[in-house]
Amino acid sequence: MPRYIIIKLGYAGGKNSCIPTAAVTIQKPDGSEVTDTATSESGPVDAVARAIQRALGISMRLEDFHVSAMDPDFAAQGKVVVQITHEGVTHEGTGISTDIVVASAEAFVNALNNKAAFETTVAVHTV
């Protein structure tokens, strides 16, 4: 199944006058790679989401966002679960990392991959 894969992800965040920025390179299902950057005064997770959207030339709306620890240790991996709406359909995605911003990016891309898998399944069953 063709899918989107995050190849590179970099971000900077901060406090006060620092505006969070993000840069992302994504491999598309056809194997080509796209790169873009974005800023957001709402934080690094929003900057990453904007960079992903710009790189792929899409628009998605965040419906739900949850972060939870995978275990009680401070070095624990975080699990991010998102629900996004893209082209009128809502899909869920999950990302896991010791870095919550990276886990968020993985969750956004996982939701887009779940959307693609859903569309492929529907197309096969409606022929």
CA-wise closest residue to 120 among 34, 17, 3, 39? 3
Rounded to the nearest 10 degrees, the angle between the axes of helix 44-56 and helix 100-125 is: 40
On whether the CB atoms of residues 48 and 24 are closer than 8 A, the answer is yes
Percentage of the residues of the chain whose pLDDT score is greater than 90: 73
pLDDT of res. 124: 45
CATH number of the domain residue 89 falls in:
3.30.160.270
Domain hosting 74: range is 5-125
Least confident of 25-29, 56-60, 77-81, 112-116: 112-116
What mean pLDDT do residues 30-53 have? 96
On whether the CB atoms of residues 76 and 91 are closer than 8 A, the answer is no
Count how many domains the chain has: 1
Pairing state of beta strands 21-27 and 5-12?
antiparallel
